[in-house]
Amino acid sequence: MNIDNTFSKTIDLLHRGMNVESLRRNVYAHNLSNATSDGFKRKEVTFESELGRALDTEKRKPALKLTQTHPDHISNWQPRNYQEVQPRRVLDWETQTKNNGNNVDIEQEISLLMKNQMRYALLAQMTSFEFNQVSMVLRG
């Protein structure tokens, strides 16, 4: 899907953000449900930094763009389609583990769940605001 206008791109980014927050909620719930399982390593979801890098490629162009004279030549600049960026579940190997090898901190997971809920609600409000703006234009 090619997104040309700002409204469509904004809605698409908000929708993707809500999907990522839903995935995060499921990951945090899975972490909590395994808080007492021996050897369980908590998971996290990464997305925003990779999305930011993809969006930055749309803005940053090199001072000199090299011409490709053959299809096998490597380009010095290629914008990255932000729609190809997918959230990734990664194991947390850095957090200190308990004696049973588990690294889930229940209080931290609950705190992350609460932040996740607030981010999802904010994204939903922002989506509603965008559609309200269009509605006002159409009525006015």
The total of structural domains in the chain comes to 1
Tokens of 57: 């490629």
71 part of a folded domain: no
138 part of a folded domain: yes
Tokens of 35: 């808080």
134 part of a folded domain: yes
Query: For 26-58, what is each residue's pLDDT tens digit?
Result: 999 999 999 999 999 999 999 999 999 999 988
90 part of a folded domain: no
Question: CA-CA distance, 136 to 140, in Å (whole number)?
Answer: 6
Q: Which domain holds residue 110?
A: 1-36+105-140
Question: CA-CA distance, 140 to 127, in Å (whole number)?
Answer: 20
Interior/surface letters 89-127, b for 16+ CB within 10 angstroms, e for the rest: eeeeeeeeeeeeebbbbeeebeebbeebeebbeebeeeb
In which band, very low, low, confident or very high, does the pLDDT at 4 lie, cut at 50, 70 and 90?
Answer: low
* 3-class DSSP string for the chain: CCCCCHHHHHHHHHHHHHHHHHHHHHHHHHHHHCCCCCCCCCEEEECHHHHHHHHHHHHCCCCCCCCCCCCCCCCCCCCCCHHHCCCEEEECCCCCCCCCCCCCCHHHHHHHHHHHHHHHHHHHHHHHHHHHHHHHHHHC
13 part of a folded domain: yes
123 part of a folded domain: yes
Query: For 19-28, what is each residue's pLDDT tens digit?
Result: 999 999 999 9
Query: For 105-131, what is each residue's pLDDT tens digit?
Result: 999 999 999 999 999 999 999 999 999
Q: Residue 96 — φ and ψ, nearest 5°?
A: -60, 135
5 part of a folded domain: yes
11 part of a folded domain: yes
